Amino acid sequence: MTKPLSAYRPTIPLAGDITVPGDKSISHRALMFAGLAIGETRISGLLEGEDVLRTAAAMRALGAEVTRDAPGAWRVSGVGVGGLREPEDVLDMGNSGTAARLLAGLLASHPLFAVMTGDASLRRRPMRRVTEPLALCGAHFAARAGGRLPLAIEGAAEALPIEYRLPVASAQVKSAVLLAGLNARGATRVEEPVPTRDHSENMLRHFGATVTVEAAGSGRVITLAGQPELTASDIVVPGDPSSAAFPLVAALLVPGSRVTVRGVGLNPLRTGLFQTLHEMGAGLALANERVEGGEPVGDITATAGELIGVDVPPERAPSMIDEYPILAVAAATARGTTRMRGLAELRVKESDRLAATAALLAANGARVEIEGDDLLVHGAGAPPPGGGMVETHMDHRLAMSALVLGLAAAAPVRVDDTAFIETSFPGFIPLMTGLGACFA
Ligand code: S3P
């Protein structure tokens, strides 16, 4: 069922002190890795968005015991590396590329047959980027034209370790290869051209695997020793910086606002947006920096103020890959042009986010251009006129970005469907309303 919604400029500033749901990347990994560990892992702060619930259901179907005790508090009893059982039915990964791609890695090195599908958005997304390297371990795949889901997987009985250089900077592809390597004899090596989020590496170590990381040119080489004994180990999931981005940018754009988000994950491979906003002159302050569950976290306070346009280099893209739509919204209110370089990967997200972000802004009177793989937003030093209808194409981050734009724009912004916000940020609407946002 679609859920259209309009966002209006509030009459009073946004204010409040909040937390956001758990990190999506870490939540998927926590369920998957704990599902392969021996013993019981307790997870707190797990994101209970639809994407992660799909991973929980898939891990159950593969033999792990997955129990929800209270909101965000889960227990997983794993089957041990190599112990996944053949699922009886098709695995439906919903809207989640991370769930589908990481799971393909796990399944590739287990001697079983599985079929994976997803919703219309996920069924459009490229899977060859994982099936090509994963075939090197001896797994067989059959997919629809263009390597798209549904995908049939015949895992390798005696998986070989993979050596692979990523052609694109993708933490999902890196993670899929490493996960296949868990049940391969010998060392799996992945080279990435630019460092991407390293939650898999950190969490595999946390469960007892041997993972080494070496610098190689502008990137890294990651080596995993195969067939480790993974041992259950409790996990605290930090707040998702990609979710915190929405209330924080809203606070920057609505005059007079001040909002604090507590317990936000600050892994340096995830904080490109905050660095960019800082360069734009945003009032962002960091407090209480600490390490929780092996990841750096802190409290971020955003205070409204003027922004200036900046040039965002392509090598920063992996550390803020999910944040370009909301950055583009901020850029539309800034003084001067913001050029976001090297965004080819945005074309294969939950939607073609490069085209859809440009359309979101253009529909609301902002000046925007796509030049090759770059997005240019010409900010007028004031919020854009608004008044447009935004098509979200089953993409949660476009829906939230459009709603934030509506809080700043002169006229309300209408959004065709906000239902997909549930995939990553359950409770977004009431949380924002609690800060003073106006939706109808
Ligand atoms: C993710 C990696 C990124 C990101 C996605 C989550 C992950 O995708 O866009 O939301 O958890 O590894 P890519 O690896 O395709 O860039």
**Whose alpha carbon is nearest atom 13 of ligand 1?**
170
Provide the pLDDT for residue 294.
Answer: 81
Provide the pLDDT for residue 178.
Answer: 98
Please write the tens of the pLDDT for every residue from 281-322.
999 999 999 998 789 999 999 999 999 999 999 999 999 999
Provide the pLDDT for residue 198.
Answer: 98
Provide the pLDDT for residue 292.
Answer: 86
Peptide bond preceding 247 in cis form (omega within 30 of 0) = no
Please write the tens of the pLDDT for every residue from 189-220.
999 999 999 999 999 999 999 999 999 999 99
Q: Residue 69's pLDDT band (boundaries 50, 70, 90)?
A: very high
Provide the pLDDT for residue 313.
Answer: 98
| Radius of gyration of the chain, Cα coordinates, nearest whole angstrom | 21
Residues facing 221 on adjacent strands: 191, 214
**Whose alpha carbon is nearest atom 10 of ligand 1?**
322
Provide the pLDDT for residue 59.
Answer: 99
Q: At what angle do helices 272-279 and 241-253 cross, to 10 degrees?
A: 20
CA of 385 to the centre of ligand 1 (A): 33
Please write the tens of the pLDDT for every residue from 172-189.
999 999 999 999 999 999
**Whose alpha carbon is nearest atom 15 of ligand 1?**
170
- pTM over the 0.95 mark: yes
Biggest CA–CA distance in the chain, Å, is 64
Provide the pLDDT for residue 324.
Answer: 98
Length of the chain: 440
Atom of ligand 1 nearest to the CA of 174: 14
Mean pLDDT estimate for the chain: 98
Dihedral over alpha carbons 110, 114, 117, 122 (to 10 degrees):
20
CA of 318 to the centre of ligand 1 (A): 8
Tokens (6 digits) for 153: 């997987």
Tokens (6 digits) for 214: 């070496």
